[in-house]
Structure 1
Amino acid sequence: MRLPDRQSWAVRGPAGLLLAACLGSSVALAAPEPVRPAAPAGPSALEAREIRAQLMPRRYTTLAAEIGAKINRLPVPEGGTFKAGQALVGFDCSLQQAQLNKAKAALGAADKTWSANKRLAELNSVGKVELELSAAEVDKARAEVAANAAVIAKCSASAPFNGRVAEQKVREQQYVQPGQAMLEIIDDSQLELEFIVPSKWLAWVKSGSTFQVRIDETGRSYPAKVQRIGARVDPVSQSVKLNAVIDGRFPELIAGMSGKVVMTPPAVQ
């Protein structure tokens, strides 16, 4: 009697499965997947991103009080311009002036005593020690006058350079302590730029290289020139800092504005 197909397959099944597995593996080996070409390397993260720069003043500083006194005058308002040597803060120094006058009077008295003792010494009417002590009193009084005169000289804070008042931190009739910040001042005669570029740009970026910077606040592009190149390359980011200056005078530009640096390698110009 003939076995049913299912039983017949059960008898022949293991051999059939083995044959099918061998055939399947041979087919897989005979038709490997095609090798895809490697994708071209893209630009570095630094090159791909937008290079930003901020306008900075050429020089800037904070004027602080050197004496404790009440402010009498602030002649230049916030945002106003000034010249080098111009008084920016005036103090009420009536007490310091009185101390200077007192020191001058003491110097006059000491000088008269020394002159009298010097004449008496010529007549052998005064001892040498007393004469030397009177001379020392003159030196002491002269030093007091010099010290008080130095304090009086600090009763007016003058501008160290031409520029503008960026911020007033004090007001008239306010009493300030020594070391207290009073004014933030800047020299905006030339506006500078600081930004970071890939270090391999050093192959074509040199001191004096020109480029354009587009300022966000004005929506215009301005000429700029590389002034200094950083002293070292950051080995991690492979970048270097550049310092540049706006090439020209543009009244609408002020410190703190920022924009996009547009620098193109000579090979692709």
Structure 2
Amino acid sequence: MIFKTSQAMIMLCAVTGLGMSLGQTASAAERAQIEALYGTTISSEVSGRIDRIGYREGESFKKGATLISIDCTSYAAERDRVAAKLASAQAKRDNQEKLAQLQSAGKLEVELARLNVNESAAELKAARANVARCSINAPFAGRVDTLQASLGQSIKPQDELMTIVGETLNARVIVPANWLSWLKKDDVVNLSVSETGTSVSGHVVRIGAAVDPVSHTIPIWARLDKTADLRPGMTARAEFPGAPNNAGSPKQQPGTAKPAPPAS
């Protein structure tokens, strides 16, 4: 009877140790949040009327694509006016320089003519910049998240027109701080996406700068390889195949359950 009891205890310890090992291996996984690497609010830099909206909510675009166009008639006219002013200033400068060679113009007249050219050139640069601002181009490839602008709407500088998110996605994972003993950049991460049921792989690209002193956790970010069906805000289960068996607990190593007491 004593033998059977001791045998049962030993079997229980073995099962317990195995359970810890399995549990700790499986615990090298945490919840992940899908985030866009880039995201911004598009605002106007000039006043005017919107005459074209290139992309609507949910639509994708390439880097450099025109998101919104503003009627540029007045800015183009100002550019042409300043260009003509510059041409006139250059002609006057050239004339003053020729007169100076003939000693018919003083140094002051020549210097003033040159300054007028510089001033007009600066004005033309600003006018051309305003014309360029009539077309709001995408700073990166991505999708339109929200659209606040309307066709024909009159806008002013700093008015928010749309928000966009980039197509490059990261997974943000909060992991136990003791994982830093083995978790490194470029480690593989396998994600099971909750919303789509699909799997996607990635690799660690960043590790947080500080550990939370209360929860003893730290954020890490993984760059995802394929993101066609993913959207920012989705959640996933992130598994780290390179984790050691004892990754889940720094206190208890696998198979170290107390042995059964000796039979009396």
TM range (shorter): 0.7 to 0.9
Alignment of 1:155 with 2:134, yes or no, is yes
**TM-superposition CA deviations, 1:62-100 (whole Å, max 9, x none):** 222111121111122222222222221111111111111
Matched residue, 2:122: 143
Q: Which amino acid is the alignment partner of residue 244 of structure 1?
A: A
Q: CA deviation at 1:55?
A: 0.8
Alignment of 1:67 with 2:9, yes or no, is no
Q: CA deviation at 1:259?
A: 2.7
Matched residue, 2:235: 258
CA distance in 2, matches of 1:98, 1:159: 26
What percent identity do the matched residue pairs reach? 33
Q: Which amino acid is the alignment partner of residue 197 of structure 2?
A: G
Report the count of equivalent residues: 221
Q: 2:218 aligns with which of 226, 232, 240?
A: 240
Q: 1:121 aligns with which of 100, 108, 121?
A: 100
Please say if residues 42 and 160 of structure 2, whose CA atoms lie closer than 8 Å, have aligned partners that are also in contact: yes
Q: CA deviation at 1:170?
A: 0.8
CA distance in 2, matches of 1:201, 1:210: 14
5+ residue gaps in structure 2? 1-19, 21-25, 248-264
The SS at the match of 1:54 is strand
CA distance in 2, matches of 1:250, 1:138: 53
Q: CA deviation at 1:129?
A: 2.1
How large is the RMSD of aligned CA atoms in angstroms?
2.6
TM-score, structure 2 as length reference:
0.74
**Structure 1 residues 207 and 136, CA gap change in structure 2 (3 angstroms):** closer
Task: List aligned pairs for 1:9-158, cutoff 5 A.
Answer: 51-158=30-137
**Structure 1 residues 257 and 132, CA gap change in structure 2 (3 angstroms):** same
**Structure 1 residues 123 and 56, CA gap change in structure 2 (3 angstroms):** same
Bigger RCO of structures 1 and 2 (CA < 8 A, at least 6 apart): 2
**TM-superposition CA deviations, 1:195-234 (whole Å, max 9, x none):** 2121122233332333433322123443343332222222
CA distance in 2, matches of 1:54, 1:123: 77
CA distance in 1, matches of 2:91, 2:73: 27
CA distance in 2, matches of 1:221, 1:185: 25
CA distance in 1, matches of 2:192, 2:69: 41
Task: List aligned pairs for 1:173-192, cutoff 5 A.
Answer: 173-188=152-167, 190-192=168-170
Matched residue, 1:204: 182
5+ residue gaps in structure 1? 1-41
